[in-house]
């Protein structure tokens, strides 16, 4: 039955899945068709690692025996988060990084997606002057969820990256600092800056120097710089090259416990200046009250006894680092070395990102062709968000997940290699015929 509902603008925007979520809907439909022939290289869920599950099992068991348990699950708490978790975050970050945080610098949210919802819509959107304040991504591509949480369609903007080839089959994005600074200083309608480090989808880790430059401008302009640390150290520490978090008065660190095996419990952590945190706390209090208190207590216990940090370093990081090596080897073994494919340097995150230079078809057509050959990948263009100008590069990339088994990875890459070869060759033949 079609109800023909008259939705608000926000209702219309938020009832449409955008970016990867739209593709994921299509993928779920394909997989639900029952065929087990598909090799799914698109999975967004983290792998279940027994050592990680063991940490959470033990924390939950301890909590079940805790006399505070009835109150934890039966009663509401503060919208800043539980005392236990806030105190353990303050203690841990002060000890580890020599900071002087206090409780007013920390907010616990229902996952980091929710954190971005609060932050982006509080600091951006239509202001008192009726002008739309936007969130700026300094270097595209970046997490498509930022467009998902923005209540206005055109709220997210981004700067195109500099594409730097490292060798015949490897490349890396670099920040176009000049373009970023020009935009920041000349567009008065930037309300926040947002970036993921390590980056979803491409695994890039912006240098400390770049982050310092970005946060310095944000400080000068008095706007928050949201650093999405969903894959960063100290947990889950899915970085394959050295990196340290950068701290600055303009930075709000946005942490997630999801990739440390607790995605189902929805715990995110914002660390930043009290003035920013206060605004987000009020928003959270109005919108959702607080995150799961059980999850928060589990996380506090795992921070306090060091298990969250140690399982990240000893299990999670090595697991995905090895997966990336398996992928690299599979590509070198299977892909045509005379064709112009380039893997983004693997610096971190759960993903690998491949660019096919001058491929005669775009990423959506490639996605459909691979699907017809029973391999599923994520087409890359939605990570360039709505508002950027569409360049050829933006439609020639795909994202592959590092969460599949080694066997599936090799099988999927073999099919990818065959499909890519035939697309490039078919084009060459048609050119020869002209």
Alpha carbons 355 and 366: distance in angstroms, whole number = 12
> How many chain residues interact with ligand PLP (CB under 6 A)?
14
Q: Does 245 bind ligand PLP (CB under 6 A)?
A: no
Question: Which residues, including other chains, have CB under 8 Å from residue 313's CB and lie 6 or more apart?
Answer: 237
Burial of 429 per CB tally in 10 Å (0-12, 13-18, 19+): exposed
Tokens of 405: 């088994």
Binding mask 43-82 for ligand PLP (x = CB under 6 A): -x--------------------------------------
The reply to whether 234 sits near ligand PLP by the rule CB under 6 A is: no
- Does 239 sit near ligand PLP (CB under 6 A)? no
DSSP state of 249: T
- CA-wise closest residue to 141 among 393, 400, 420, 413: 393
Task: For residue 30, state whether it binds ligand PLP (rule: CB under 6 A).
Answer: no
What DSSP designation does 109 have? E
Closest to ligand PLP by CB, 92 or 143: 143
Euclidean distance between CA atoms 121 and 368, whole angstroms: 34
User: Could you tell me the smallest distance in angstroms from the CB atom of residue 291 to ligand PLP?
Assistant: 10
C-alpha–C-alpha distance, residues 280 and 122, integer Å: 7
- Which one of 256, 291, 381, 401 is in contact with ligand PLP (CB under 6 A)? 256
Of residues 102-141, which lie at the interface with ligand PLP (CB under 6 A)? Answer: 111-113
Q: Which stretch binds ligand PLP (CB under 6 A): 54-62, 255-263, 285-293, 411-419?
A: 255-263
Interface positions, 136-195, toward ligand PLP (CB under 6 A):
143, 145
Scan residues 259-298 and list those touching ligand PLP (CB under 6 A): 263, 268
Interaction of residue 230 with ligand PLP, rule CB under 6 A: yes
Whether 375 contacts 412, CB under 8 Å: yes
Calpha distance 353→364 (Å, rounded): 15
Dihedral sign for Cα atoms in the order 408, 316, 28, 139: negative
Residue 204 in contact with ligand PLP, rule: CB under 6 A:
no
| CB nearer ligand PLP, residue 45 or residue 71 | 45
Q: How far is the CB of 226 from ligand PLP (least distance, A)?
A: 10
Please tell me the distance from the alpha carbon of residue 154 to that of residue 16, in angstroms, as a whole number.
14
The three-point CA angle 276-84-88 to 5° equals 70
* In the complex, minimum distance from the CB of residue 256 to ligand PLP, in angstroms, rounded to a whole number: 3
Name the site residues for ligand PLP (rule: CB under 6 A).
Answer: 44, 111-113, 143, 145, 196, 200, 228, 230, 256, 258, 263, 268
């Amino acid at each position: 039955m079609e109800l023909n509902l008259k939705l608000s603008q926000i209702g219309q925007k938020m009832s449409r899945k955008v970016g990867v979520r739209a593709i994921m809907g299509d993928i779920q439909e394909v997989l639900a068709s029952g065929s087990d022939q598909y090799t799914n290289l698109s999975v967004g869920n983290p792998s279940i690692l027994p050592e990680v599950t063991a940490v959470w099992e033990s924390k939950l068991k301890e909590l079940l025996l805790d006399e505070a348990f009835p109150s934890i699950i039966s009663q509401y708490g503060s919208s800043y988060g539980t005392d236990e978790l806030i105190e353990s975050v303050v203690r841990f970050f002060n000890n580890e990084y020599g900071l002087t945080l206090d409780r007013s610098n920390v907010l616990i949210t229902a996952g980091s997606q929710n954190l971005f919802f609060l932050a982006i819509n509080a600091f951006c959107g239509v202001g008192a002057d009726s002008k739309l304040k936007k969130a700026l991504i300094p270097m595209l591509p970046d997490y498509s969820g930022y467009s998902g949480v923005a209540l206005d369609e055109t709220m997210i903007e981004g700067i195109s990256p500099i594409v730097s080839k490292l060798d015949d089959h490897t490349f890396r994005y670099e920040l176009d600092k000049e373009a970023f600074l020009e935009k920041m200083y000349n567009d008065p309608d930037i309300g926040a800056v947002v970036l993921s480090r390590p980056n979803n989808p491409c695994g890039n880790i912006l240098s400390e120097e770049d982050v310092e430059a970005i946060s310095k401008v944000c400080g000068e302009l008095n706007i928050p710089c949201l650093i999405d640390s969903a894959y960063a150290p100290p947990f889950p520490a899915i970085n394959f090259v050295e990196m340290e978090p950068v701290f600055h008065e303009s930075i709000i660190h946005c942490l997630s416990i999801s990739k440390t095996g607790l995605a189902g419990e929805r715990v995110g952590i914002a660390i930043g200046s009290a003035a920013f945190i206060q605004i987000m706390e009020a928003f959270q209090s109005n919108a959702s009250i607080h995150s799961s208190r059980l999850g928060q207590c589990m996380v506090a216990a795992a921070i306090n006894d060091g298990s969250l940090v140690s399982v990240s370093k000893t299990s999670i990081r090595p697991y995905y680092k090895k997966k990336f090596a398996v992928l690299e080897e599979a590509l070198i073994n299977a892909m045509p070395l005379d064709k112009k494919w380039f893997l983004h340097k693997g610096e971190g995150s759960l993903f690998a990102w491949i660019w096919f230079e001058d491929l005669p078809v775009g990423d959506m057509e490639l996605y459909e062709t691979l699907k017809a050959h029973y391999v599923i990948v994520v087409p890359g263009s939605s990570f360039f968000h709505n508002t950027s100008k569409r360049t050829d590069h933006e439609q020639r990339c795909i994202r592959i997940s590092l969460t599949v088994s080694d066997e599936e990875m090799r099988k999927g890459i073999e099919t990818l290699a065959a499909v890519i070869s035939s697309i490039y060759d078919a084009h060459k033949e048609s050119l020869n015929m002209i």
